[in-house]
Structure 1
Amino acid sequence: MGCEVSWFAALCDDDYEFLGVQEDRLLSSWEHCRTIALGAEQAGYDNLLLPSGYTLGIDSVAFAAGIAPLLRRMRLLVAVRMGEMWPPQLARQLATIDQMLGGRLTVNVISSDLPGQALESEPRYRRTLEFMRVLRALLDGKPVDYRGEFITVALDPPRLRPARGCPPFYFGGLSEAAREVAAQAADVFLMWPDTMSAVEAVVADMRARAARYGRELRFGYRAHVIVRATEQEARAAAARLVSRLDDQTGEMIRRRSLDTTSAGTRRQNELRELADPAGYAEPNLWTGIGRARSGAGAAIVGDPGQVLAKLRGYADLGMEAFILSGYPHVAEADLFARHVLPHLDHGPLFPR
C-alpha cells in the first residue's frame, strides 16, 4: 500500500504519560515540541501535524516558522483556524513558511470561531468556505475581487507565493455543512477514528458529493496508536494510560476544547458508548482515549502485525494519509517507527 504517514506535534498541551495527569515536562513548549518534530523527521515520518488552539499550548504558525529551518526532508501540516486571521496576511505567512520549507508545506484548515465570539455551525462553515476560496486564490498567485457574506476584498496577490501554487488543504468534519465545504474546497478529507463500516460509508458519501462539484477528494485518517511486541502488552499499555484518570477530570479536559459540540465529537462519544467493557468498538480499535480528549478519541491498539493490518484495512477503503499520535508522543513515535513504519510503502501524498 502507498500512503503518507504523519506524526503529531503536541502543540496544544496534549501530551501525557498518564492521561489526565498533567506534567510540566510534557506541556507544550518550544523545546518539547521541537524534540517531537526532530524525532519524527529522524524516524522517517513523511509529515507532521501542527495542531492549533487558542487557549492551549503554543501557536502553530509561529512554531512552523521556527522549526522549518531545522527540517531537511519532512513536510509540515500546519493547522490554521479560519476566521482568526485575515486571509491576505495568512497567505503571506503561509507562503513564507512554504519558502522556508522548500515547498513542503501542507495546510490543515480548521473551521473555527473568532476567539471570544461564537457563530452557529452553518454560517461558520459558510465563512470557512469564503476564507478557503480567497486563501487559495492568493496562494495560487491570482488577483482577488471577492464580495461574500463575510469577506469583501479586492487586491492583487503578494509577490511572495508558493512556487507550486497553493499547498494542499486537508479538512475534516461530519456535519452536513462541513461535508459540503470539503466537497467544494478541500484536497484531502480527514476523518477521525471510526469502525470500518462507518469509514466506508463516509468515503462513499464524500466521493459522491465531490463529484457533484466536478471534483475528486483524497482521504486521510487521524488516529492514536499503541503498538507493542504483543497484543497483550499493547492492551496493557492502553489500560495503563488511563489508570489514573477519573471521569470528572476527563470531562473537564473534553470541555476545554473548542469543538465539544461538533458532529465529529458526538460521533466519537457514540463510538465509546458502542464499545465493549474494555473500550474496544471493534477489534484493535480502542476508545479509551476519548474519555479525556475532545476530537480524535480512539487508538489502534495491537502488536505490529495487527496495527499494520488495521492500517491496510483503512487503506483498502480509500485512506491515503494517516496522521498518528500516541502518549507520550516522543516514545510512541519511536515505537511505531521501529515496529510498523518500515513495513509500510509510504511517502508524501503530494510529491514536490
Structure 2
Amino acid sequence: MPVRVIGMIGVTPPAGAASVHVIKGGISTDYLRAFAQAHEQAGFDLVLVGYTASSAEGFLVAQYAAAHTSRLGYLIAHRPGFVAPTLAARKIATFDHLTSGRLALHIISGASDAEQEGDGDFQPKEVRYRRAGEYIEVMKRAWSSQRRFDFEGEFYRVKGAQSDVRPLQSPHPPLFFGGSSEGALAMGAQHCDVFAMFGEPLAATRTRIAEFRARAAAFGRTPTFNMSFRPILASTEDAAWDKARRILASVTTQQNATGFDNRKTPLDHSARRLLDFAAQGDVHDARLWMPIAEATGAVGNTSCLVGTPEQVAQALLEYYKLGVHSFLIRGFDPFNDVSAFGQELIPLLRDGAAALDRAAAA
C-alpha cells in the first residue's frame, strides 16, 4: 500500500522558539495560504486542520487553503453534536465536490469535558462517543440512500431525510478517529476507516494493531492505521540529539512561563499511555524520544523521532512493516520543518515503503 504523509496547518504564526500547538490564536490569510502551499510543494498528501473550542472554523480554513492549492488534501477535525448529521452529510459532500475529492474527516469527541462545555456541550466523553457513532450512521445513510429515510436512535431522530448531493469519493471521504478508551475503540471499530494513534514503541503498536483489527473484523471491516510523530532531524545523529535537547529546554521554559504543571493536566487515555512509556525511559527503539511528551503532559502529538533523515525514515518504515501506512509528521518549527521534511525525509520514506511493497509482492 502506498504510504500516505500528512502534515498539519495553522492559521497564524506561532510564538516561541519551539511550537507545540499550531491552531490557537487569530488568523492570518497570508500565513495560512503559504503554509498550505509549502506542504503541497514538500510532497505531503494531506494536512490536518485541527479543532479547539476557540480556534478558527476548520471547514472554512480548509476551503480557503484548498482554493490556493491544487493537489493537497485536507483532513478536517470534526466534532459531532453541534450540527444535525443530515446537514453535516450535505456539507461534507458539497466540500468533497468543490475540492475535487480532497477531503478526509477526523472524528473527535473533544479534548476534555471542560473545553467541550465552551461550545455548549455538557455530555460526558463516553456519551459523546456513542453519539458520534450514531451521527456517522445517519451521515452514511444520507450519503447512500436513494430514497428518503427515517432514523430514530438515542440521540438523533429524522423523518423523510434525503440528500441531493453525495460525496465525490466513493462511498464517502475517509473517516479517521483516535482514542484509547473503550468508547473510542468501540465507535471507531464499527464506523471509521483509519485508526489514528500517537507514536508509541513498536511492540505496543504491534499489539494495538492486532487488537483493533480483531475489533473491526467483528463488523466486517478492515481498517488502516495512522501514527503521529514529531521528527527532529539534523545532518548527524549527535547534532539531532543536541537539537532535541534544545527544543526540550525551549518547550520547558515556555511551559514554566505560563505556570503549566503537567501533574495537574487532565489526561485522556491516549495521554496516559504516552506518559506511562515516558516513565519507562526517555528513549525507545533507538529513535522514539519521550521527554517532550512528559514535559507537556502528552497533550497532542509530542512523540519524537530523533536522528538523521535516513535514520528517522528507517524508524518510520519499521512501523510501516507493522501495518501503519499513514504518518502524520510535523515539527516544532512548523513552517520551516515542512520544507526540511520534503527535501529528504519524505522521499526516503516513500522510496523505502515502495521497496518494501515490491519485496512483499515478490
TM range (shorter): 0.7 to 0.9
Q: Which moved more, 1:202-211 or 1:286-295?
A: 286-295
- Equivalent pair of 2:86/2:161 in contact (CA under 8 Å): no
Report the AA paired with residue 168 of structure 2.
A
* Cα distance in 2 between the residues matched to 1:85 and 1:96: 16
Q: Which moved more, 1:131-140 or 1:145-154?
A: 131-140
Q: Which moved more, 1:240-249 or 1:218-227?
A: 240-249
- Equivalent pair of 1:12/1:58 in contact (CA under 8 Å): no
CA change 1:191–1:48 in 2 (3 A) is same
Correspondence for 1:138 among 119, 122, 142:
142
Deviations 1:102-142 (A, max 9, x none): 11211111123462433223212111101111122223355
* Cα distance in 2 between the residues matched to 1:29 and 1:270: 38
- Equivalent pair of 1:69/1:100 in contact (CA under 8 Å): no
* Cα distance in 2 between the residues matched to 1:67 and 1:211: 36
* Cα distance in 1 between the residues matched to 2:262 and 2:13: 13
Q: How does 1:94-109 map onto structure 2 within 5 Å? A: 94-109=92-107
Q: Which residue of 2 aligns with 1:149?
A: 154
The Cα of 1:153 is off from its aligned counterpart by: 1.5
In structure 1, stretches of 5+ residues that fail to align are 348-352
The Cα of 1:251 is off from its aligned counterpart by: 6.8
| RMSD value, Cα | 2.8
Deviations 1:52-109 (A, max 9, x none): 1112x32211101111221211111111111222212222222222112111211111
* Cα distance in 2 between the residues matched to 1:27 and 1:239: 30
CA change 1:195–1:250 in 2 (3 A) is farther
* Cα distance in 2 between the residues matched to 1:282 and 1:162: 41
Q: Which residue of 2 aligns with 1:350?
A: none
* Cα distance in 1 between the residues matched to 2:190 and 2:125: 17
In structure 2, stretches of 5+ residues that fail to align are 111-115, 354-362
CA change 1:170–1:253 in 2 (3 A) is farther
- Equivalent pair of 2:66/2:72 in contact (CA under 8 Å): no
Q: Secondary structure at the match of 2:79?
A: strand
The Cα of 1:327 is off from its aligned counterpart by: 1.6
Report the AA paired with residue 17 of structure 1.
A
1:185 aligns with 2:184: no
Report the AA paired with residue 252 of structure 1.
F
Report the AA paired with residue 308 of structure 1.
A
Report the AA paired with residue 214 of structure 1.
G
Correspondence for 2:338 among 320, 333, 340:
333
Q: Secondary structure at the match of 1:338?
A: helix
1:344 aligns with 2:349: yes
- Equivalent pair of 2:216/2:222 in contact (CA under 8 Å): yes
Q: Which residue of 1 aligns with 2:286?
A: 283
Report the AA paired with residue 105 of structure 1.
L
The Cα of 1:180 is off from its aligned counterpart by: 1.0
Report the AA paired with residue 289 of structure 2.
W
- Equivalent pair of 1:172/1:189 in contact (CA under 8 Å): yes
Report the AA paired with residue 140 of structure 2.
R
Q: Which residue of 2 aligns with 1:302?
A: 307
* Cα distance in 2 between the residues matched to 1:76 and 1:70: 12
Q: Which residue of 2 aligns with 1:319?
A: 324
Report the AA paired with residue 267 of structure 2.
T
* Cα distance in 1 between the residues matched to 2:84 and 2:62: 18
CA change 1:192–1:15 in 2 (3 A) is farther
CA change 1:111–1:21 in 2 (3 A) is closer
Q: Which residue of 2 aligns with 1:31?
A: 30
- Equivalent pair of 2:150/2:158 in contact (CA under 8 Å): yes
Deviations 1:178-229 (A, max 9, x none): 1111110011111111010111110000010011111111111122111221
* Cα distance in 2 between the residues matched to 1:75 and 1:237: 31
Question: Normalization by structure 2: what TM-score?
Answer: 0.85
Report the AA paired with residue 237 of structure 2.
E
Question: Normalization by structure 1: what TM-score?
Answer: 0.87
- Equivalent pair of 1:19/1:242 in contact (CA under 8 Å): no
* Cα distance in 2 between the residues matched to 1:27 and 1:238: 28
* Cα distance in 1 between the residues matched to 2:264 and 2:87: 28
Deviations 1:240-272 (A, max 9, x none): 212232454577397999xx4311111122222
Report the AA paired with residue 292 of structure 2.
I
* Cα distance in 1 between the residues matched to 2:51 and 2:264: 14
Q: Which residue of 2 aligns with 1:3?
A: 3
- Equivalent pair of 1:6/1:323 in contact (CA under 8 Å): yes
The Cα of 1:330 is off from its aligned counterpart by: 1.2
Q: Which has the higher helix share?
A: 2
Q: Which residue of 2 aligns with 1:52?
A: 51
Q: Secondary structure at the match of 1:340?
A: helix
Q: How does 1:220-239 map onto structure 2 within 5 Å? A: 220-239=226-245
CA change 1:250–1:135 in 2 (3 A) is farther
* Cα distance in 1 between the residues matched to 2:43 and 2:131: 37
* Cα distance in 2 between the residues matched to 1:130 and 1:184: 10
Percent of pairs with identical residues: 28
- Equivalent pair of 2:20/2:332 in contact (CA under 8 Å): no
Taking CA–CA contacts closer than 8 Å with sequence separation of 6 or more, which of the two structures ends up with the larger relative contact order?
1
Q: Secondary structure at the match of 2:272?
A: helix
